Amino acid sequence: MSDGTDTGRYLRLTVDLVVEVLDVDALQAAALAEIRDPEAELDDAERQEQIELVNSDKTGATALQWLIEPDHVLGLVEHVTEIEPREAMLGVEPSDGVLEDEDEDDHDHDEPGHIH
């Protein structure tokens, strides 16, 4: 068993959020503006590839992924001083509009927590 001085203790925070896309064209336009921004660290080939990906994705998932900053994800825990965020990864994919139930065996529903 570790004494806590030589190893860290890591927790993986998993959040599922379903959003409704009200205007795919506006969402894509906002993402394209970000991609075309000279401060976006993309070379011309990468920029064109991302433009094509956003334009070809009629769900808006690629556009939304462009608009969410990693700092936004880390903001979920920035007020908790007892932890140090190490890594964040975000995935956006089409959904049927409701959160899918995971296998009930995978969760202990008696664990502390809350839903917003």
Q: How far apart are CA 90 and CA 19, in angstroms?
A: 14
| Among 61, 66, 60, 64, CA closest to 47 | 66
Quick check: is 69 in a domain? yes
Residue 37 structural domain: 24-93
Query: Does residue 72 form part of some domain?
Result: yes
Residue 49's CB is within 10 A of a number of other CB atoms, namely 13
Number of domains present in the structure of the chain: 1
Within 13 Å of residue 84, how many CA atoms lie on the same side as its CB?
3
Would you say residue 41 lies in a domain? Answer: yes
Q: Would residue 8 count as lying in a domain?
A: no
Question: What is the tens place of the pLDDT at every residue in 26-67?
Answer: 999 999 999 999 999 999 999 999 999 999 999 999 999 999
- Predicted TM-score (pTM) of this structure: 0.71
65 belongs to a structural domain: yes
pLDDT at 7: 59
